Amino acid sequence: MTSLTTFYLSRLIGCKLFDARENVLGIILDVYVQLPMNNTEIDKAQRPKIIGFYIKQQKRHLNVTLTNVQIVKFNTHYKVQCQGMIEVSPDTLSSTFLLKETILDKQIVDINGRKLVRVNDVRMVALSSGAFVVAVDVGLEGLLRRIGIHPLIKTILQLFGGKTPSKFILWDDVEAIDFATLNIKLNTPFTKLNTLHPSDLADIIEDLGKDSKTSVFSSLDEETAADVLEELEAKEQVHIIESLSIEKAADVLEKMPANEAADLMDNLEDEKAQQLLEEMESEASEEVRDLLEYPDSTVGSLMTTNILTFQETQTVADVVEFIKTEQPEMESLYTLFVVDEHNRLSGTFTMRDLLIESPDTSLTEIMNLNTNQVNDYDRLDSLSEIISKYNLLAVPVTNGNEELEGMVVVDDVVDDLLGKRRTM
């Protein structure tokens, strides 16, 4: 027999539990583990610690803790032995979760791989301070181990110079989605998901089950949630918004660019959209209402009102200081606009212009007078030709009174051409 320092959940489940005198105490059905429960512990380690077992003893099912546990390998099987066993109440284990029930065969997020994977097995390690979960097995080897044919397949493959593929993900790189369904009160639920790019998060959420989508999305801060919502497919956007409370949905929509929020609301039932508009802050709501007035086939339906405008009397230094202070979204920096006292478009300039000119240079000296502007009620098909011909990142949009209303950015034009929007 060999005393094990590393072992697998799949081979632990179903093992007989012995006392020091070789009496059978029961059969292991699952393992209770506990996550770090405060910020200090989370900073130190993310690995769950084994603190108890769920066993079957004759016709009874017990929650127990063990003393002086030893796991040994006997031939191809595990043997679990302890000095003592104490039955505990479920309340004692309220801050824990069952490893097999929660993790095995469930979907988790591989943070490094930025994708959902299914857990085939769980790897654990025994240290002087206790036993801990260190990794999940998402490879073929874990699956073969589960069904008990890994040694046979391994032997056959070795005859041909091959081996069974294995793939482990360290627990530090795992986010377990199903924690949302448990009564575990974590200070930082789904903390690791916030490290992912919104596009990756959107892909992951789209692959989740219906209930998990809402749980994961609801755990995000409003800024991240708004960025993720923009990246979701239209039907997923509708599902998420309809699954949230009116208050929560309105808070997220307020963080989105008005044109993105308007596109989303265009896919909702009129009553739902009206409730959200009434719940949103008046300024954000008014912007969205204005955009919703435009027919889908017009420039206004694709326009963003998130633009930066400056006066002719301002200098390069004034603009740079404003940008440093306000820290606007990257999209609003594609093109910057100079307007007169009546908000009529005088010219445009770029970030490059700001970088190469001296701070005291007037905007009138660097602005481009050829603005290539379009009207908010022009047809959408006029945009692609202008952007292509003049190699623009954004096109200014004016109304019938020549007042600047917003701009259309190249990203949205490309999305429209690829059919990602409902425009015609």
Spatial distance between the Cα atoms of 97 and 35, rounded to a whole number of angstroms: 9
- Residue 149 pLDDT greater than 70, yes or no: no
Instruction: Name the residue with higher pLDDT: 165 or 325.
Output: 325
Which pLDDT score is estimated for 172? 82
Mean pLDDT of 290-297: 89
User: Residue 28's beta-bridge partner residues?
Assistant: 55
Q: Under the phi-then-psi rule, with left for phi > 0, alpha for psi from -120 to 50, and beta for the rest, what region is 161?
A: left
Spatial distance between the Cα atoms of 117 and 102, rounded to a whole number of angstroms: 14
Which pLDDT score is estimated for 214? 84
Mean pLDDT of 397-416: 87
Spatial distance between the Cα atoms of 181 and 194, rounded to a whole number of angstroms: 19
**β pairing state of 24-34 and 16-18:** antiparallel
Which pLDDT score is estimated for 97? 87
Which pLDDT score is estimated for 1? 42
pLDDT above 70 coverage of the chain, percent: 86
Q: Give the range among 180-194, 220-234, 248-262, 400-414 with minimum mean pLDDT.
A: 180-194
Mean pLDDT of 137-149: 77
User: Residue 18's beta-bridge partner residues?
Assistant: 24, 81
Exposed/middle/buried for residue 355 (C-beta within 10 Å: 0-12, 13-18, 19+): exposed
Q: Where are the domains of the chain?
A: 2-175, 197-293, 309-417
- Mean pLDDT across the chain: 84
Spatial distance between the Cα atoms of 109 and 171, rounded to a whole number of angstroms: 11
- Residue 161 pLDDT greater than 80, yes or no: no
Mean pLDDT of 190-205: 82
- For residue 43, the 8-state DSSP code is H
Q: List pLDDT tens digits, range 221-255.
A: 888 899 999 999 989 999 999 999 999 999 999 99
Mean pLDDT of 304-325: 94
Band of the pLDDT at 411, cuts 50, 70, 90? confident
Helix, strand or coil, per DSSP, at residue 417: helix
Which pLDDT score is estimated for 183? 40
Output the CATH code of domain 197-293: 1.25.60.10
Which pLDDT score is estimated for 177? 66
Q: List pLDDT tens digits, range 27-64.
A: 999 999 987 655 444 344 568 889 999 999 988 999 99
In the structure encoding, which two tokens stand for residue 373, read together?
A: 């502007």
CATH class, range 309-417: alpha beta
**How many residues in total does the chain contain?**
424
Greatest mean pLDDT among 2-6, 32-36, 121-125, 205-209 lies in 121-125
**β pairing state of 70-74 and 77-81:** antiparallel
Exposed/middle/buried for residue 120 (C-beta within 10 Å: 0-12, 13-18, 19+): buried
Spatial distance between the Cα atoms of 229 and 413, rounded to a whole number of angstroms: 19
Which pLDDT score is estimated for 212? 78
